[in-house]
Chain A
Amino acid sequence: MKKLILIIICNIFLINESFALIEVDITRGNLDPLPIAVSPLHVDIKSENYKDLKIKDLGINISEIINNNFRATGLFNPLKKEAFVQKPDIAHLKPRFEDWRLIKAQALVTGKILIKDEKLKIEFRLWDLAAGKEMTALAFTTTPSNWRRVAHIISDKIYERLTGEEGYFDTRIIYVAESGPKSQRVKKLAIMDQDGAKTKYLTLGNELVLTPRFNPTNQMVTYMSYFRNMPRVYLLDIETGTQEVVGNFPGMTFAPRFSPDGKKIVMSFAKDGNSDIFTMDLDTRVVERITDHSSIDTSPSFSPDGKFIAFNSDRSGLQQIYVMRSDGSGVKRITFGNGIYGTPVWSPRGDLIAFTKMRKGKFYIGVMRTDGSGERLLTENFYQEAPSWSPNGRVIVFYRETKAGLKGEGFTAKLWSIDITGYNERQLKTETDASDPSWSSLLSK
């Protein structure tokens, strides 16, 4: 009995001892982009030729696209392949982790390509070099001409695995391609991959086109065009190229935009001399008035759950941003700062609203919470506007006009992107001047 009690007491003291585990709080780390090595994909020797495709270079080209995608995020630092310690033919082997760690890489991408029977098969593996284990491995089969898209899809998968949020590389941006002097500006509808590749013009430039906007659920676009000086709202299916007129609207029609389910469009137009917000059901073509106020209400944008609409109005004097329920009730002003606010766009995540702010002759692109708090101005310039969100809500694309010549003659309009943290501001490559961008949802979704 005594022994038993003694053992129990000893055990209790041991339990007591085990509670004294040292705890250290780590609340800071380095903000440097994650060093990642993307090894050129190994081309299988059994691969057959396919049309004009240079099979030998395909592995390098795909790894270059992945590298460029990662570099553009600002979250990754793709290492130079000159520093790589193993050749691409390691695709089917476990990499020598210790060697890769020597070049300070924390993640490694390997893969291989095979073209057979006019089909392209791409495999890739993502390795955690510190842990010495595989993080993900996937294989895709497609037509060889689709190799560029596969590179974007691989980028998305890796991005998602390393950051936890959805990627945005397998996406496209539609915009208004501009050329010619300001008085005789030719405006065409153009579409390109998010990295600037594969630009395609969708209209001829005979008519003025404005404000193209992607449907968040598919590859449909709505935009405005002037036909015989009357604004028309169009629907364009990017996949099939078919186009239809939604309706003729009175003058001063602005910025049609889809609802989150893609079944309605919301826009503003002037009825009885006053601009208000209206929705139109795309199936029934029934137009419904949402706001009815003597002020000018424009730039409506749905929240991703479809319950609210953000818009700008001058009902308080200066133009400010307001939020209301999607039926028009409960209008609430959310911006009270100095300056004029416009073009509110709700983030696909639903947590932020992007906007343009004008103050003292300068234009700012910023974000704020949906109640107007936490305003952050991300970028400042003489003229910039029309923010549009990447499908994961991390990056904003907008356009900026700058003086073109050294003496300030002429102007140029270009697309720019910026991270919601305010870092990583970059100009997007476009063949011509560009404005009014709209970012698509993921093509492979």
Chain B
Amino acid sequence: MIKSLIYSITFHSVMILLTILSLPFMLREPIDLPPIVSVELIQITNKTNIPFAPKARKIIEETKKKEERLVSEQAPPSAKAKEKPDRIPLPNEKKEEKKIVKKKQNPEEVKPEIRQSSEFEKKEIVDTNQIAALIDKAKEQAASKQKEKDKITQSSKKNSFASGLTLSQEDALRAQIFGCWSVPLGLPYDEDLLVRIKLSLKKDGTITKSEILDHQRMNRPGQKFYKVLAESALRAVRLCQPLKVPPTGYDKWKEIQLNFNPTEMLKG
């Protein structure tokens, strides 16, 4: 009797401990990481595929020389600037470049499951100058996008990069559905009308299953507006398919949830 009691207590303690350690809502607030900036890299070769006409080649070479002269006249190039923009880095320089990128984007440590470095790793040849330029540009874009998104959703707790889609992928998907969703204009603006739809997707973005998460509400009395909104949302996703989904990471987005909220639109 006592033996089984001890077993029971031990087992239950282990269970409670495991639950506390593993369930996400028991965890502390996650560290607020800055958004990851997705950077698209263009592979640069030392020769262009299109051959220049003999006359054009001469003109280009002359222009290049002129430009070089101009640079040297205006400001003496620093040691870093001496590198040619189209210089091909050697394979052993790759690790160093990765470090630079990581440092610039995320000063804090990034969890491996949410780090979007796969695209960098795939590239064998990378130009640091271009990356720096792109990062600066992308940072600005990301900041403005983030601002816009915060304005729209007002849900600061949601992390787009935790979702498995990059910001641009998420924006592309959102923009696609914006176009398909005919918002029922007769809806009242002062009611809580949020429709959550869970979609199961194929790799090509077609929908295999769509489910309204609060579908019981549709048939409740006095919920006509909710029903109308839910139906319009379902219509939108069906009309939109195949959805614009990323080519990779199917496991992460094979199921997605779309939250349709027309309140801001209806308020005008």
Q: How far is the CB of A183 from chain B (nearest CB, A)?
A: 45
Interface residues of B in 213-268 (CB under 8 A from A): 224-225, 227-229, 231-236, 238-239, 252-253, 255-265, 268
CA distance A19 to B162 in the complex (A): 11
CB distance from A52 to the nearest CB of B (A): 38
The answer on a CB contact under 8 Å between A30 and B183 is yes
Question: Is B258 a contact of A26 with CB atoms below 8 Å?
Answer: yes
Does the CB pair B227–A164 fall under 8 Å? yes
CB of A9 within 8 Å of the partner chain? yes
Which of B14, B174, B261 sits near A5, CB closer than 8 Å?
A: B14
Q: Which of A30, A101, A164 contacts B179 (CB 8 A)?
A: A30
**Cβ contact within 8 Å between A23 and B182:** no
Residue A130 CB within 8 A of the other chain: yes
Tell me if A406 is interfacial: C-beta within 8 Å of chain B: no
Chain B interface residue count, CB cutoff 8 Å, equals: 58
A106-B182, A106-B239, A164-B184 are contacts. A12–B170 as well, Cβ < 8 Å? no
**Contact between A24 and B182, CB atoms less than 8 A apart:** no
**Partner among B19, B228, B261 whose Cβ is within 8 Å of the Cβ of A27:** B261
CB B206 to nearest CB in A, in angstroms, measures 14
- Cβ of A45 < 8 Å from any Cβ of B? no
Q: Check B144 for interface membership: any CB of A closer than 8 A.
A: no
**A8 with B183: in contact, given A22-B255, A106-B235, A130-B235 (CB under 8 Å)?**
no
B-contacting residues, A73-129, CB 8 Å: 75, 101, 106, 128
The residue from A9, A21, A34 contacting B255, defined by CB atoms under 8 A apart: A21
Q: Give a binary string over B177-189; 1 marks a CB under 8 Å from any A CB, 0 the rest.
A: 1111111111100
Inter-chain contact A29/B258, CB cutoff 8 Å: no
Stretch at the interface among B60-68, B133-141, B151-159: B151-159
The CA-CA distance from A342 to B64 in the complex, in Å, is 76
> CB distance B153 to A16 under 8 Å?
no
Interface residue? A409 (CB, 8 A): no
User: Do the beta carbons of A23 and B257 come within 8 Å of each other?
Assistant: yes
Tell whether, in the assembled complex, residue B185 and residue A31 are in contact, meaning their CB atoms are under 8 Å apart: yes
Chain A residue numbers with a CB within 8 Å of B257 are 21-24
By the criterion CB–CB under 8 Å, are B259 and A24 in contact?
A: yes
Contact of A131 with B by CB under 8 A? yes
Give the nearest-CB partner of B255 in chain A. Answer: A21
Q: Given the interface contacts A16-B22, A75-B186, does A22 sit within 8 Å of B181 by beta carbon?
A: no
Give the contacting residue for A22; candidates B155, B236, B256, B268; CB below 8 A: B256
In the complex, A429 has a CB within 8 A of chain B:
no
CB of B23 within 8 A of CB of A8, answer no
**Which A147-163 residues have a C-beta within 8 angstroms of B?**
160, 162-163
Chain A interface size, under 10 / 10 to 19 / 20 to 34 / 35 or more = 35 or more
Residues of A close to B23: CB separation below 8 A: 12, 15-16
Interface: A394 (CB within 8 A): yes
Q: How many whole Å from B149's CB to the nearest CB in chain A?
A: 8
Q: Is the CB of B181 within 8 A of A30?
A: yes
Q: Say whether B91 faces chain A, with CB atoms less than 8 Å apart.
A: no
- The answer to whether A421 and B164 touch across the interface, beta carbons within 8 angstroms, is no
Q: How far is the CB of B161 from chain A (nearest CB, A)?
A: 11
Asked if residues A29 and B198 are in contact (CB atoms below 8 Å), the reply is no
- Whether B18 sits at the interface, judged by CB under 8 Å, is yes
Known: A163-B184, A164-B224. A26 touches B260 (CB 8 A): yes
Tell me the bound Cα distance from A5 to B255 in angstroms: 29
B15 proximal to A (CB < 8 A): yes
Question: CB distance B235 to A131 under 8 Å?
Answer: yes
Chain B residue numbers with a CB within 8 Å of A26 are 174, 177-178, 181, 233, 236, 258-261
- Asked if B163 is an interface residue, CB under 8 A from chain A, the answer is yes
User: Is B173's CB within 8 Å of the partner chain A?
Assistant: yes
Q: Are A22 and B163 in contact (CB under 8 A)?
A: yes
A445 within 8 A of B: no
Say yes or no: A31 contacts B183, CB within 8 Å: yes
Residue ID in chain A nearest B187 by CB atoms: A164
> Is A165 on the interface with B (CB-CB < 8 A)?
yes
Q: Does the CB pair A164–B19 fall under 8 Å?
A: no
Give every chain A residue within 8 A of B162 (Cβ-Cβ). Answer: 20
Kindly state whether residue B36 has any CB partner on chain A within 8 Å: no
Q: Are A30 and B178 closer than 8 Å at their CB atoms?
A: yes
A145 to chain B, nearest CB (A): 32
Considering the chains assembled together, what is the distance between the CA atoms of A193 and B184 in angstroms? 26
Choice from A29, A32, A33, A128 contacting B231 with Cβ under 8 Å: A128
Instruction: Tell me whether B85 is interfacial, beta carbon within 8 Å.
Output: no
B165 at the interface (CB under 8 A from A): yes
B153 touches A27 (CB 8 A): yes
**Is the C-beta of A182 less than 8 angstroms from some C-beta in chain B?**
no
Q: Does A360 contact B (CB under 8 A)?
A: no
Question: Which one of A8, A20, A24, A25 has the highest number of Cβ atoms from chain B below 10 Å of its Cβ?
Answer: A24
Is B261 in contact with A34, judged by CB distance below 8 angstroms? no
Contacts of A23 in B (CB 8 A): 158, 163, 256-259
* B186 adjacent to A164 (CB under 8 Å): yes
Report B187 CB to chain A, min CB distance, Å. Answer: 6
**A28 sits at the interface (CB 8 A):** yes
Give every chain A residue within 8 A of B182 (Cβ-Cβ). 29-30, 32-34, 106
B24 CB–A CB distance under 8 Å: yes
Instruction: Select from chain A the residue with minimum beta-carbon distance to B252.
Output: A22
**Given A12-B19, A34-B182, 9 other A-B contacts at CB below 8 A?**
A23-B257, A24-B165, A24-B170, A27-B262, A27-B265, A29-B262, A135-B231, A163-B228, A164-B186
- Which 7 residue pairs across A and B have the least CB separation, nearest first? A29-B181, A163-B186, A164-B228, A29-B183, A130-B235, A164-B225, A164-B224
| 21 A-B pairs in the complex with CB atoms less than 8 angstroms apart | A8-B18, A20-B163, A20-B252, A22-B255, A22-B257, A23-B259, A25-B174, A26-B177, A26-B181, A27-B261, A29-B178, A29-B182, A30-B180, A106-B235, A130-B235, A163-B228, A164-B187, A164-B228, A165-B224, A394-B186, A421-B185
